[in-house]
Structure 1
Amino acid sequence: MKFRVNRDVLADAVVWAARALPNRPAVPVLSGLLLEADGEDLVLSAFDYDVSARATVEADVAEPGRVLIPGRILAEITRSLPGGQPVEIVTDGSEAVLTCGSAEFGLLTMPVEDFPTLPTAPPKVGAVGGGIFASAVGQVAPASSRDETLPMLTGVRIDIAGETVTMAATDRYRIAAREFGWRPEQPGVTAAAMVPARVLVEVARSLRGGEVSIGLGDGVAGFESVGRSTTVRLLDEQFIDYRARLTDDWPIRADVRAAPFVDAIKRVALVAERNTAIRLTFGQGQVLIQAGGGDIGRGAEVLDAELSGDEIQIAFQSQFLLDGLAGVETEFVRLNMQSPSRPALIAEVPGDADPAFRYLVMSLRQA
């Protein structure tokens, strides 16, 4: 096997594929990246039985072949190579020799025949712009749980109904949901899937360019864009009825400019001890943001707000509140409330249309 490839192209592809490598591989070969050179393409693959990643780049292939190289060290090496120089990789017995300019590395290869067969991509069900996809994942994924003992809560629910896709996540203390349009392969298609949030975040982070194709089938989801593809084993489809919880009756509504609101909460939260509350007092024409009062000190700031309904003081865990506000993409954010002891719904203010992004967050009991 012998090929030559642009240094920046190789480093980018290796680092991207290496993200799928397991931290504690069940067998040693799963820590390797599979390099396959043929024709004018170099394909780099990683697989841990749950998640697979493939990146295809152009290469000058002199001798086709396959080689399995320890993935993390390859990623470190390619990132450190001098720029402006091509990279050549040649297999020589049990060694893969990598040269770039005056730098040379000999990496011991792994038995390629022991590497598991990667899953085939599931049937494509539709596609969406990479920017919209990344935005939706960024809005919803923070509400997923990190507690692996409850797998259902570590995923993002994807509901497909014709030309509309809804993503939702919850960790029991909050629910985030985002709706967006897409281009289905067949009109009237319906499907549902639970995708691990950590995988979806990595996919969204790396597949911003162009259009993202989504495939579903046989308990696997597939995502593909600009020469890169990922497959992931789906979680159990069981999930809460999140839509019913997001369509309650809200007698109190407050509209605030989103960016100044976020900045003010971050400033005031500097004196809040860990897991203490941010208190919001909504009155006519303003909102008072308060925190602290313990061993560190206290902070307060007043912003303009348009209130509809009774005046109210309500408290939230600061990071939960900020995660919801970070998902708002409109100039104004709307807080829909019932009482100080009930959850509040954070939503965008798009005029008369239903908000695309909604975030339900539990309030905190105040002393």
Structure 2
Amino acid sequence: MLVTLERNHLLKSLGHVHRVVERRNTYPILANVLLKATPEGLDLRATDLDIEVTESVPAMVGTPGTTTVPAHTLYEIVRKLADGAEVRLETSGAEQMLLTSGRSRFHLACISPDSFPDLKSGTFGFNFSIPAATMRELIERTQFAISNEETRYYLNGIYLHTLEVNGKPTLRAVATDGHRMARAETDAPAGASGMPGVIVPKKTVGEVQKLLDGAEGDVAVEVSDTKIRFTLGSVVLLSKLIEGTFPDYDRVTPKNNDKEMNVDRAAFATAVDRVSTIASDRGGKAVKLSLNQGQLELSVTNPDHGTASEELPVDFTTDNFEIGFNARYLLDIVGQIRSDNAVFLFNDAGSPTLVREDGDAKALYVLMPMRV
């Protein structure tokens, strides 16, 4: 194999594919990236057996061939080369690849590509295209609520599904960890209607989010019963889905919360952050909201460090209402609000609270209260 290409092109592609490679692997081949030189250019592929990322990069191919080399080592070498430098990759045998750039020379150990795993894609029953910015927003508004609890593995991802909302086909993303729930939706693209609900794993969500960062145009999405594939330009990400049943989130979404509080989002977030400074981790970073006729008092009591309180003007007409929340969860949700005001809908101190943007129904959040 003999390939010559521009360092920046190679670095960008390696940046996409090497991230799925785990630092520690039982099988040495999984620590490598597959390099396949064809007359059309250089293809790169990496996998952890659950996710596979492939990208094609323009290159001058003198001799076609295929090999695998350590992914993270190759990425670090290319990252440290001079901007705009020319990179030459050459294999004369099966055991080593020579990388040269300017006066730099590196010999990298190779593993035969024959044992490199192929994450078979199978047949995809649903195919649609969606603006990259829209897909990114669905992920950004929900991914923070994904659970890390391995025993409830079916919560370790984003539930992506279609449904009818007011007679319109809608694509909805939902995530929950049992303490808070995030829900975001958009008009369903052509080809998505009727798609079964799938749970996209957290690692896949993170990789797709990075691919979509700053991206323009559309991303193609293909869904089967067991896998999902995202294609953005020359990058293809194929992932297994989480097997399991996502809980009936609609059942825990409040329907009759009639105590409404409107508050300046930025001022509220700053106040919560300030008073929670002395909150105890042992106590779950609890902050109490006390409401009375247009006035909100945020307070924290820590037996070891003292107390803190702050008052804010709010739009609230009910007398004497108190409720407690985990401050970090509260800040996570308020951080997703895009409007100037955040709208809180309460029922009672022991029931879930609904949080949404002022005048927008495309995203909403549910937060479980704490006893304070």
Task: Give the TM bin, normalised by the shorter chain.
Answer: over 0.9
Q: Which amino acid aligns with 1:337?
A: F
Q: Tell me what 1:169 maps to.
A: 175
Paired residues for 1:196-235 under 5 Å: 196-208=201-213, 209=215, 210-235=217-242
Asked whether 1:56 is paired with 2:53, we answer no
Q: Is 2:334 aligned against 1:356?
A: no
Hey, what's the Cα distance between the residues in 2 that align with 1:259 and 1:205?
27
- Note the alpha carbon deviations across 1:330-356, whole angstroms, 9 max, x for none: 221111111112221111112xx5x11
**Separation of aligned partners in 1, 2:123 and 2:6:** 31
Stretches (4+) displaced over 4 A: none
Q: Greater CA deviation, 118-127 or 248-257? A: 118-127
Q: Secondary structure at the match of 2:196?
A: strand
Does structure 2 retain, via aligned residues, the 8 Å contact 1:253–1:336?
yes
> Which of 172, 184, 187 lines up with 1:181 in the alignment?
187
Give the 3-state SS of the residue equivalent to 2:371 in structure 1.
Answer: coil
Pick closer, same or farther for the CA change 1:310–1:6 going to 2, 3 Å.
farther
Deviation at 1:365, TM superposition (A): 0.7
SS at match of 1:110: coil
Cα distance, 1:306 vs structure 2 = 0.8
Q: Distance in 1 between matches of 2:336 and 2:79?
A: 32
| Cα shift readout 1:21-80 (whole Å, capped 9, x = no counterpart) | 134434211111001121232211112221111122211222221110111111211211
Q: How far apart, CA to CA, are the structure 1 residues paired with 2:368 and 2:61?
A: 57
Mapped contact 2:294–2:317 kept (Cα < 8 A): no
Instruction: Kindly state the Cα deviation for residue 239 of structure 1 after the two structures are TM-superposed.
Output: 1.3
Structure 1 position 140 matched with structure 2 position 142: yes
Q: Which residue of 1 aligns with 2:155?
A: 153
**d(CA) in 1 for partners of 2:225, 2:24:** 26
Structure 2: gaps of 5 or more residues: none
- TM-score, normalised relative to structure 1: 0.93
Contact 1:277 1:316 in 2 (8 A): yes
Q: In the TM superposition, what are the counterparts of 1:19-30 in structure 2 within 5 Å?
A: 19-30=19-30
Match in the other structure for 1:190: 195
1:76-135 deviations in Å (ceiling 9; x for gaps): 112111212121111122211112222221101111111112323753521222222122
Distance 1:127 1:121 in 2: 19
Residue 100 of structure 2 contacts residue 106 of structure 2 at CA under 8 Å; is this kept in 1? yes
Q: Distance in 2 between matches of 1:283 and 1:122?
A: 58
CA contact (8 A) 1:193 1:237 kept: no
Aligned to 1:109: 110
CA contact (8 A) 1:21 1:31 kept: yes
Count of aligned residue pairs for this structure pair: 362
Give a deviation string over 1:237-258, Cα, whole Å, max 9, x none.
4011112322420121101121
**Secondary structure in 1 aligned to 2:4?**
strand
1:238 is paired with a residue whose SS is coil
Which of 294, 297, 300 is the aligned partner of 2:303? Answer: 294
SS of equivalent to 1:150: helix
Report the Cα distance in structure 2 between the residues aligned to 1:169 and 1:79, rounded to whole angstroms.
Answer: 35
Distance 1:304 1:128 in 2: 41
CA distance in 2 between partners of 1:260 and 1:327 (Å)? 14
- Residue 332 (str. 1) matches residue 341 (str. 2): yes
Show the 5 A alignment for 1:200-279. 200-208=205-213, 209=215, 210-274=217-281, 275-279=284-288
Is 1:11–1:78's contact at 8 Å kept on the other side of the alignment? yes
Q: What's the offset of the Cα at 1:145? A: 1.1
Q: Could you list the per-position Cα deviations for residues 292-332 of structure 1 after superposition, in whole angstroms to 9, with x for gaps in the alignment?
A: 44323332222221114343111111111111112212221
- Contact 1:126 1:182 (8 Å CA) reproduced: no
Q: Secondary structure at the match of 2:197?
A: strand
Question: What's the TM-score once normalised by structure 2's chain length?
Answer: 0.92
How far apart in 2 are the matches of 1:7 and 1:296?
54
Matched residue of 1:290: which SS? strand
Q: Is the 8 A contact 1:246 1:358 kept in 2?
A: no
Question: Relative to 1, partners in 2 of residues 1:122 and 1:307: Cα closer, same or farther, differing over 3 Å?
Answer: farther
Residues 309, 159 of structure 1: alpha-carbon distance in 2 compared, 3 angstrom cutoff: farther
- The answer on whether the counterparts of 1:207 and 1:224 sit within 8 Å (CA) in structure 2 is no
Whether contact under 8 Å (1:122, 1:220) holds in the other structure is no
Residue 318 (structure 1) aligned to one of 290, 311, 327? 327
